[in-house]
Amino acid sequence: MIKLSTGVFSPCSNISLLQGSSSSGLFSSKSKSKSKVGAGSHSNLSLKANSSSWKSEGINNINVGAGSNGVGIKDKWMEFQGIKNWEGLLDPLDDGLRDEILRYGEFVEAAYRCFDFDTATCRYPKGSMLSDCGSVGAAAGGYKVTKSLHATCGVNLPNWTQRIVSPRSSWIGYVAVCDDKAEIARLGRRDVVIAYRGTATCMEWVENLRATLTCLPCDMAPHKCESMVQSGFLSLYTSSAAGGPPSLQDSIRWEINKILQKYADEPLSITVTGHSLGAALATLTAHDINTTFKHAPLVTVVSFGGPRVGNKNFRRQLEKNGTKVLRIVNSDDPITKVPGFVLEENAPQRTSSNGPGGLSKWLHKRMEDTQWVYAEIGKELRLSSRDCPHLSNGNVATCHDLKTYLHLVDNFVSSNCPLRATAKRVIEQTSGDQATAFV
């Protein structure tokens, strides 16, 4: 599978750096979230609306946007969801697709804002979650949260560690269904969103470090397909604890089954989005939905800053069952380059079994048999903060921050013309914030 790279660009060459004011960016200031550092989403960077253009071109415009040819989302939604693998939409980046990517990024940001770092739970009731967290874009778009999602660490630690580590199970995201008639008409279908935050607890870090590949369980893979994924990600997706919430997998299956039955007679799409660890879980979730429900609607992953998830057999299975994956990658973000390593599949090899080419082929095969050889999956929108004056010296937290990703997406035009003249977001360096990198 050929992955699309849209090149390196300089998104911030003529954008001013704003200091000394509170962050507005994606959400309104009425948010009740605490000031703790989020999982890659709340580092020392925040986004601020450009006062000269935000009111007319800001978040509300995303909800009424159209492609570069003036075609509404309802006419191109299947293309934006990857039915044609985003051919012709990534370089240059179609304005309608850009708005959709940013819109799904807001759902991920909402997952960060809803998370209570002290209790590892959601701080808002399900019925008002999106509005309570200040989610302007998602709430205005007419989505209703129907399910809270929890992930459970499958590692059994000694009992004495319970006092010093976070709970085994923690709130990690939600399912939201578009229930507004006007928004459904604008989108051209009823959209179901599954959104995940990134790593935020010690137990999730424990799973992140379990980086070797392991086989998918039988109910997630055909017999002898040899699909393998990262051990820790699979554990978080399938594990449950006695007396705790059901596994993330069971919650997803129950909720999607209910949704498919309820809306069986209308156009439907399922979009799974996440940042960092959430991006990996989004990929597993989309694969599981397409494997479990044989007549599932179009299932699409929109991921931000995700690590590698599985081997090339897993990638083949994703392609076979029709799972569409769009990976938003900052080439300066090291998290997107782990775990394991990727072997070059298109490198020419000699056929002689006795010469260097034969040795290379043999070594290639032996390495593939290990539990460390991963494969890149899906289509890739590759961005870079390297040439941005205000990001070029950024640390890992800056490069991995969700706000950095949304900023880069918002400014990208193409590999030949990298900067959008009417940028809607600028980077604000917020003093006093602690920067922490999360996977």
Under 8 Å CB-to-CB from 220, ≥6 apart: which residues?
227, 287, 288, 291
Among 332, 333, 401, 410, the one annotated catalytic = 333
Query: Is 276 annotated in the active site?
Result: yes
- Give me the residues paired with residue 240 across strands: none
Question: To 10 degrees, what angle do helices 231-238 and 277-292 make?
Answer: 60
Query: Is 333 annotated in the active site?
Result: yes
In this structure, are residues 39 and 208 in contact, taking their beta carbons and an 8 Å threshold?
no
Query: Is 400 annotated in the active site?
Result: yes
User: In whole angstroms, what is the distance from residue 136 CA to residue 113 CA?
Assistant: 12
Best CA proximity match to 200, nearest among 105, 251, 276: 276
In this structure, are residues 152 and 174 in contact, taking their beta carbons and an 8 Å threshold?
no
At 317 the three-state DSSP class reads helix
At 315 the three-state DSSP class reads helix
DSSP string, 107-158: HHHHHHHHEETTTTEESS-GGGHHHHTT-HHHHHTTEEEEEEEEEE------
In this structure, are residues 397 and 22 in contact, taking their beta carbons and an 8 Å threshold?
no
Among 384, 400, 401, 407, the one annotated catalytic = 400
Among 276, 303, 384, 385, the one annotated catalytic = 276
Task: Give the Å distances, CA to CA, from 287 to 85, 212, 318, 319, 337.
Answer: 16, 19, 6, 10, 21
User: In whole angstroms, what is the distance from residue 401 CA to residue 407 CA?
Assistant: 10
E strand or H helix at 75, and its extent?
helix 73-80
In this structure, are residues 397 and 435 in contact, taking their beta carbons and an 8 Å threshold?
yes
Position of tokens 């778009």?
141
Structure tokens at 19: 């200091």
Task: Give the Å distances, CA to CA, from 234 to 53, 156, 239, 287.
Answer: 43, 15, 8, 12
Catalytic residues: 276, 333, 400
